Each structure stands twice: as structure tokens, then as C-alpha cells.
Amino acid sequence: MIVEDLVLEITRKCNLSCRHCLRGPAQRLTMSTQVLNNTLMHISHIGMVTFTGGEPSLATEVIEQFVQTCWWRHISVGSFFMYTNGKAHNGLGRFIRACDKLYGLCDEQGACAVSISQDQYHRELRDIQWHRYEIRDEETGYSYGEYPPYFHHTPKENYIDQPFNEGRAQTNGLGWKPPRQQKPFEVEDHNGELYIKNDDGQVFIAANGNVVSTCNLSFHRVDKESKGNVLTTPLSQIIESYCVREEEIATAVA
């Protein structure tokens, strides 16, 4: 199975309580090894993998497991992306080393990126710089230098005009309903493999194993509107049950 755009919600833990957060209140939940293994079981290639949360740096062990599993199963990965809120904690050194291993796994390294959220809702974090983190590996003595190559160390401040009216933003009366909610996965056959395209959608795997086709939902709606769970149903079967095939798309256009 080939997945162009895979989004892994590796944790629902967070060390902030941003008023615009579309996910909603944090939960004490991190993706288990079983959820990750079941997700990757029949995948041969991932175009881009996005690690999201919650706060991804609080679930470094899942990133490490992802890298190890891809190596063991010979799963090729094009690139990765993730946002971190940049809040300092004791595990940041391990997180950076995990990102470095993830970067080494990817074939399209120029497209890899880690960025700190910088907008009007994160003003208290705007002065945090990557070089203030622990970026020296104490075991090997290796230093990453000023910045890792995949880190966006000079991002312009992003102003969010309207956050998504989901989760905590909805509670606080902020934002708008996104126009794109869940849509069927678009799939085709590619040399005998199921190929899941990323035309206006993602394969989103929640920390508890639930599967949806968009990342613009709160924790509550992901669980309520799940199309299946990888702990009980193979991912390919979930996708097949909620998809449109290339020939159906062509017929609809005609």
C-alpha cells in the first residue's frame, strides 16, 4: 500500500492550553506500539508523514519507533513535517536526536521540516531559538552546530486570520468552520498495490487508532466520526470501505 499523505497523531498530551486550539483539551493519551505497527503493517511507501498532536515533542518514543519500524520493514519515506510549540522541557534533546534520525530516513530531505509555531496565540514563545535547546549528543559528543538542516530557524511570524472553529476555539467563540470536512479517500491501483492519493485529504491516524480523512477535526469529532480503527480492522480495509476509485472519479467528471 502506498500512502502519499500520512498524518500520525502521536499524542494528545500538550504542555500548553492555547485558546485557539482546534483539538480541544489535552488528553493523557499517546499512540501505542500496536497502533503504530498496525498502521504501518501493509504500507510500502509514504510520500510525506506529518507528526501532530497534542505536542509532538512529548511523544519522542513514537517517532523513534516509526523510524525503527520503517527500517525493519523497508518502508520508504519521502519527507516529514511537524510543528512544535517550542516550549522547553527535559526531553527536547532526545526529541531533536529523533528528528535527526527521521531526517536520515527520508529520501527527499529538502522537503523535510520542523517549525516552531509563531503566531498571535504563541507570543510567549516567539523568542525561543533552536540553539537554546540541548543539541549536543552527550553520548557521542556530536554537535549539531547552529541549526539542524531541516529546522525552520528564521520563520516569519504567522498571523492566523481565523482559526478553525473546533475544540477549544469553538468553546472560546473563535474562528470559522473549515470548508473541507471529511471526504472519501481517493485511491487507484498502482502495479498491484493500493495507492492512496492526497488530493485534498490525508490518511489521519489518531493516537487511539481511529481513522479519518482530514486533520481539521477536534479530538472529540475524530473519535465520533471515525471510519474505523486500526486495532480492530486493517487500514487497507478501512480505506476501501470509504473511498472512491480513479475510474469513478473519471466517470463523475465526464
- The pLDDT tens digits for 129-163 are 444 444 455 566 555 555 667 776 544 556 666 77
Residue 37: CB atoms within 10 A of its CB come to 13
Distance in angstroms (rounded) separating the CA atoms of residues 240 and 184: 9
Q: Are 205 and 211 in contact (CB under 8 A)?
A: yes
- Which three cell numbers, joined as nine digits, stand for 208? 487511539
Q: How are beta strands 193-196 and 185-190 bridged, if at all? A: antiparallel
Q: 138 - beta bridge partners?
A: none
Say which CATH class 2-253 falls into.
alpha beta
Distance in angstroms (rounded) separating the CA atoms of residues 183 and 36: 23
Q: Are 16 and 85 in contact (CB under 8 A)?
A: yes
- Which three cell numbers, joined as nine digits, stand for 207? 493516537
Boundaries of every domain in the chain? 2-253
* pTM of the complete model: 0.86
Distance in angstroms (rounded) separating the CA atoms of residues 116 and 93: 15
For residue 240, which of 224, 254, 227 has the smallest C-alpha distance? 227
Residue 97's alpha-carbon distances to 100, 138, 201, 254, in angstroms, are 5, 11, 30, 50
Q: Are 211 and 227 in contact (CB under 8 A)?
A: yes
Contacts of 93 (CB under 8 A, 6+ apart): 133, 134, 135, 137, 138
Mean pLDDT of the chain: 84
What pLDDT score does 160 carry?
A: 67
Q: Are 84 and 114 in contact (CB under 8 A)?
A: yes
- Which three cell numbers, joined as nine digits, stand for 101? 534520525
User: Which residue do the cell numbers 529520501 mark?
Assistant: 107
pLDDT digits (tens, 9 = 90+) for 40-68: 999 999 999 999 999 999 999 999 999 99
Per-residue buried b or exposed e for 233-251, using 16+ beta carbons within 10 Å of the residue's own CB = eebbebbeebbeeeeebee
pLDDT digits (tens, 9 = 90+) for 182-211: 889 999 988 889 999 876 668 999 999 999
- Which three cell numbers, joined as nine digits, stand for 194? 493500493
**Higher per-residue confidence, 230 vs 21:** 230
pLDDT at residue 125 tops 60: no
- H or E stretch covering 240: helix 235-241
Length of the chain: 254
What pLDDT score does 142 carry?
A: 56
pLDDT digits (tens, 9 = 90+) for 203-242: 999 999 999 999 889 999 999 999 999 999 999 999 999 9
Q: Are 235 and 38 in contact (CB under 8 A)?
A: yes
